[in-house]
Structure 1
């Protein structure tokens, strides 16, 4: 593990270089960076800006701008006569310093920014003109730092969510703040969910069904609750949260209605499709989407927005999720979904993400369904799979999903192997085994089912010792 140092330690070394070796700020900064990196110190969260090491006229060391702004805000909050404009200016400085720079965000956090901004949220929770400025600074601070918030902060955000549910500008910022505190933090997600966040958000989808900005922000926040991205916990509650959205929040019905209402707005449609794919986590949920006409809606909307790469990719991800249900497989094929997927692969074959998503759909749609295997080959889907493998030889995800698609095409329809092998599939799969070690198992499975020569190694024979 790389060593870490504090901002103060780094600053002291820079100033020591300037004082003892008569270096200018740039020389001193570069020398300090070189010193610490040679010692294996990680400087990713250290602010490295030569302009910050100037000495004031009275000889005092100047604070970093974000630290100075935090100190000013603390004093202003204690001063009841402080002007709103002054406080907003200070908040804007904090926001600008934290936006886009993890090092400055970390510096702000280590200098007590969270408790001061929490105090500001509490002070101005009934003053919208100041509250929005506080929320913007708060979002900039917690972006990538969800550990900062505590139980009181979570409760305050839920309270603000309820209070400003009819004030779109403020509501958008509150939802954004909640979402940022849920990413990569299972404990925060659990606390928000326990405070009924899911039901509140799904109800707001109905309330603000005409406000595209709020719809998109709610969708992103709901998806954050379905993540399993916190390595500090053995398992998360992503699936349980998705189930709650569907069973208690009726999210499937709501999202499909919104897809119909906003089918001409591709930016909204992309967010809705992606959210729908996160909710289709159970067989009965996939069935419900189909029963409500969702498969027809998705295919129709994708055909209408085929020139929008984002919508196409999200539609493919939804179809992939829904195709886990055997009945949905038949429905997708019946409605021309296979032709749509192959056409999307052809149109966006140079895009790795679309190619990968399309291969995932073909993998799921051909699993345990021989008729669909023949249909894919009839539509030249096998040719498109081989083509994207050639176009993206270094992209593991494309290679992996393509291998799985080829394997499923022939696992129950061996007679299709000949037309696939004629395209040079064997050499491509052997290259994958050679250059993509993480995808070797998928490539080996495809070679085996295509009837090619493949070396199968017995990793363990039941004897004492280690696996080779």
Structure 2
């Protein structure tokens, strides 16, 4: 059942009523209002759960939230020539800070017309580096989770910023952050900005500011968002086409791999770069290109040297999984000792379900149609790592699914492994996954079938039967 929604005004009125009519103190009045609406099934995720405050401006008598007071002050600053730049700069900084408190603040500001006010301030600040940085930071904060706010004028402004302030790493980072926020879950914004030429701006930012970890990380994230297909309002997006453009037209693979080499030791940046590489491995030849450019060697090195970072390990495993879609790369991974490193990584982070999921998925891909690889996986303890993952994360469907896929791939062409695997108690684990996780159904049954276990494979409809009667 869908949750009910209320306006900010309705919530604030309830808080004021608790104070005025029931003589509660502000904290108690707020808590009572929250509990009251939640008990009625109201969604409060877009509601600022704070007591409205008295405005600092004596001319304004109505109580309201701080972010709206700041927004009003900004509106006056953008419309008047009399307001000092120092005052406006202070207001834009306070507005950004309020937006960063949470989505509810950003949503309320947007509902009260914040976007055109902030964009106007951005445009007026274009010629001053410090001012445009503050303005862009506010725009990036406001659009976080609200990509629909961006309009054609805003897109032109963002592209102009790259052209005019591309040499400044801080301004570039803020512009890229805004692009990323506005393209997440918004296919039209992605397509419009790609057509306008944002992809070379992002790859060039990585090259131009190769020593700036913040810019590299932000730009890699923005490139990755361009390959998403996450807008439920659109039936078919351009994710695949955008990935091809990044690789073929803008040399994206080399840019990312060279950048990763330059930031050796920075796990945060390396995680972002590996995540983006995995999104670009959409073609067989791209997987091979990543290997030829030194990407696979880099991934093996990261697994060996940075195995303590669970997040980095997860992203590296995801990248290996992606590039191993190429059969030649599968063999290269195994030859480079990848199986042993993957098993070590999974065992090291056995309590972290995303690592276990990606580790099992990697081994499953390496085993697919590769009997020699299956032998290595068996010898290096890959099955035991999968079994332990299933036991440690029985409630995580994705872990169960990938582990079942690995077990199935190991025995589909090598049935002689079945008895060894069954002796580890996998049949009970697979049956439990089958009962617990609906989306594990097909792969779990396939694993049981190929392991030689009893499994019910129901044929729901054969296409045969009597004719249609009126």
Q: Does 1:285 align with 2:286?
A: yes
Please state how far the C-alpha of 1:27 moved relative to its aligned partner: 4.8
What's the counterpart of residue 245 of structure 1? 246
Structure 1 residues 1-400: aligned runs within 5 Å: 1-50=2-51, 52=53, 60-400=61-401
1:266-307: CA deviation from partner (whole Å, max 9, x where unpaired) = 333222211111111111101212233332232133222233
Q: Does 1:449 align with 2:450?
A: yes
After superposition, the CA RMSD in angstroms is 2.2
**How far apart, CA to CA, are the structure 1 residues paired with 2:363 and 2:173?**
37
1:153-172: CA deviation from partner (whole Å, max 9, x where unpaired) = 11111111221110111111
Question: SS at 1:50's partner residue?
Answer: coil
Question: SS at 1:96's partner residue?
Answer: helix
Moved more, 131-140 or 165-174: 131-140
**Aligned 8 A contact 2:172 2:205 in 1:** no
Please state how far the C-alpha of 1:22 moved relative to its aligned partner: 4.5
Please state how far the C-alpha of 1:8 moved relative to its aligned partner: 1.6
Question: SS at 1:363's partner residue?
Answer: helix
Question: SS at 2:83's partner residue?
Answer: coil
Moved more, 368-377 or 282-291: 282-291
1:12-56: CA deviation from partner (whole Å, max 9, x where unpaired) = 333344444545444544454455445433222112223648999
**How far apart, CA to CA, are the structure 2 residues paired with 1:345 and 1:22?**
57
**How far apart, CA to CA, are the structure 2 residues paired with 1:71 and 1:424?**
66
Give the TM-score, by structure 2 length: 0.93
**How far apart, CA to CA, are the structure 2 residues paired with 1:197 and 1:57?**
45
Question: SS at 1:82's partner residue?
Answer: coil
**How far apart, CA to CA, are the structure 1 residues paired with 2:288 and 2:15?**
63
Change (3 A) 1:85 1:39: same
Please state how far the C-alpha of 1:83 moved relative to its aligned partner: 1.7
Change (3 A) 1:59 1:318: closer
Change (3 A) 1:191 1:419: same
**How far apart, CA to CA, are the structure 1 residues paired with 2:23 and 2:246?**
63
**How far apart, CA to CA, are the structure 1 residues paired with 2:26 and 2:343?**
58
**How far apart, CA to CA, are the structure 2 residues paired with 1:254 and 1:214?**
13
**How far apart, CA to CA, are the structure 2 residues paired with 1:204 and 1:141?**
23
Give the TM-score, by structure 1 length: 0.94
Number of corresponding residues: 465
**Aligned 8 A contact 2:54 2:61 in 1:** no
Please state how far the C-alpha of 1:318 moved relative to its aligned partner: 1.1
Question: SS at 2:166's partner residue?
Answer: coil
**How far apart, CA to CA, are the structure 2 residues paired with 1:23 and 1:191?**
52
**Aligned 8 A contact 1:339 1:379 in 2:** yes
What's the counterpart of residue 438 of structure 2? 437
Change (3 A) 1:153 1:55: closer
**How far apart, CA to CA, are the structure 1 residues paired with 2:428 and 2:105?**
50
**How far apart, CA to CA, are the structure 1 residues paired with 2:466 and 2:288?**
48
**Aligned 8 A contact 2:52 2:64 in 1:** no
1:235-269: CA deviation from partner (whole Å, max 9, x where unpaired) = 22111111100000011122222233333433332
1:300-319: CA deviation from partner (whole Å, max 9, x where unpaired) = 33222233333322221111
**Aligned 8 A contact 1:407 1:445 in 2:** yes
**Aligned 8 A contact 2:190 2:226 in 1:** yes
**How far apart, CA to CA, are the structure 2 residues paired with 1:276 and 1:100?**
32
Question: SS at 2:245's partner residue?
Answer: helix
**Aligned 8 A contact 1:252 1:289 in 2:** yes
Moved more, 424-433 or 267-276: 267-276
**How far apart, CA to CA, are the structure 1 residues paired with 2:466 and 2:318?**
44
**How far apart, CA to CA, are the structure 1 residues paired with 2:89 and 2:377?**
59
1:55-102: CA deviation from partner (whole Å, max 9, x where unpaired) = 999994312111111111111112213222211221122112111311
**Aligned 8 A contact 1:10 1:32 in 2:** yes
Change (3 A) 1:40 1:350: closer
Please state how far the C-alpha of 1:150 moved relative to its aligned partner: 0.7
Structure 2 portions without partners, runs of 5+? none
Q: Does 1:402 align with 2:398?
A: no
**How far apart, CA to CA, are the structure 1 residues paired with 2:208 and 2:146?**
31
**Aligned 8 A contact 1:183 1:229 in 2:** yes
**How far apart, CA to CA, are the structure 1 residues paired with 2:352 and 2:39?**
40
Please state how far the C-alpha of 1:3 moved relative to its aligned partner: 2.5
**How far apart, CA to CA, are the structure 2 residues paired with 1:202 and 1:387?**
41
**Aligned 8 A contact 2:11 2:33 in 1:** yes
Please state how far the C-alpha of 1:105 moved relative to its aligned partner: 1.1
Change (3 A) 1:78 1:464: farther
Moved more, 305-314 or 237-246: 305-314
Please state how far the C-alpha of 1:459 moved relative to its aligned partner: 1.6
**How far apart, CA to CA, are the structure 2 residues paired with 1:80 and 1:253?**
49
